[in-house]
A = this chain, B = another copy of it.
């Protein structure tokens, strides 16, 4: 449990901060920049800064507001402007210290500043550690569409430091845990069994995080531009994304975290898997029970089905107006490109609502 080699860069799990400092020192960068949000500026930046004191390289900190609402072109332009004002040249390095918002937006800003400067990811949420750390996706939201603008650009390295998870709220831990459960369901039945029994009142053991990254990395390395099997990572996300967006649009009801929405999506898509892809009744029940116990209930009554369906239709991954799902053939194995009808999708929502 040391380093995972992704497409063109290492994901580092051991002596993370020491290795980050070494990376900076050896990189011959003219200067570097640390991007944080309010929370990671408070909780994570100090841990990093005490390691940087002896460095000669000068650096600046750029802080943005926390939360998905900041992941837009205005904040991105703000980052570009700060880079310009701080005199960032082509040999500068950007260090994205934060969750997926910081990683995605900082990666996008870096990949487009002067046609691309180097950046590294230091994910500080469980979600960004297990999910955003490999794949090379950068992006911002635009016109109410998530990640609609972005690039495929690999970071120079990713540093996964368990210590950062100590300050992460439990709800954010659970959000990342949903992706880990997904990794088990689509690729590794033994890992799923381990996870479903694990204690997740605190951050999961580093070994489990490592295993998740390893699973995602294998998928991504085989299909870097999402042309084929990488879509397996989409399990739970066709319905889940729609539920997430729906919860954000409806001010009346509670906003869901990504993981909470994906958990609902996985229950619905497990039902679809049972119907169309061979998942057994026992497996469906097992998945449903685990997810339904871990994640809070969310009301999805009949009136929202048509809204959810149109949200699913706008998914980036659709083609020719069909709604595509990744479904489970059994726990630990999946297949892509199952076209699901509106009726089937609504029935799966009814299954969730009826639990």
Contacts and interface: CB of A to CB of B under 8 A. Distances in A.
Contact of A151 (B112, B137, B143): B112
Given A84-B143, A84-B145, A91 B151 contact: no
A91 B139 contact: no
Interface residues of A, number: 32
Interface in A64-115: 73, 77, 80-81, 84, 89-91, 108, 111-115
A29 to B, nearest CB: 12
A351 interface: no
Given A73-B77, A143-B80, A319 B91 contact: yes
Interface string A132-150: 0000011100110101111
Nearest to A139: B115
A80 B115 contact: no
A30 B319 contact: yes
Contacts of A112: 108, 112, 149-151
A152 interface: yes
B81 A316 contact: no
Given A90-B316, A319-B30, A148 B77 contact: no
28 contacts: A30-B320, A77-B142, A80-B148, A81-B143, A84-B145, A84-B148, A89-B318, A89-B319, A90-B316, A90-B319, A91-B319, A108-B112, A111-B151, A112-B112, A112-B150, A112-B151, A114-B148, A114-B149, A114-B150, A114-B316, A115-B137, A115-B138, A115-B139, A115-B147, A115-B150, A115-B151, A116-B151, A116-B152
Interface of A: 30, 73, 77, 80-81, 84, 89-91, 108, 111-116, 137-139, 142-143, 145, 147-152, 316, 318-320
